Amino acid sequence: NFWNQIFSYRNDGEYSIDNMAAERAIRPITVQRKNSLFFGSVKGIQNSAIYNTFIETCKQAGVSFRDYFCRLLRELKKGRTDYENLLPMTICK
């Protein structure tokens, strides 16, 4: 019943069967998951997950993580609490 839907990319050139972007995005996470066995504590794993989330968000927004993190710390030091305006896609554009 679903063969027409499964192979609809053959009829329309705009459909893509390539999921490489998704695979590239999760590859560091899967490697990190394997390495997390050797962190030694749950707190270390949580800190690593937070750090990696910041890095991957910056990559997707096309922002340098180093520049973002420096700006973020400067703004937090000034006392800013409007966290939605401190995201990588808003603070570095």
Give 57-75 pLDDT, tens digit per residue.
898 889 999 999 999 999 9
Place of tokens 């009829």: 11
Question: Quick one: pLDDT at residue 19?
Answer: 67
Secondary element (H or E) of residue 56: helix 42-61
Write down the domain spans for the chain.
Answer: 40-93
Specify the pLDDT at position 51: 85
Q: pLDDT at position 27, please?
A: 79
What residue ranges of the chain have pLDDT lower than 70? 1, 9, 13, 15-19, 93
Predicted structure pTM score:
0.58
* Whole-number Cα distances in Å, 3 to 6, 8, 12, 15, 41: 5, 8, 15, 15, 48
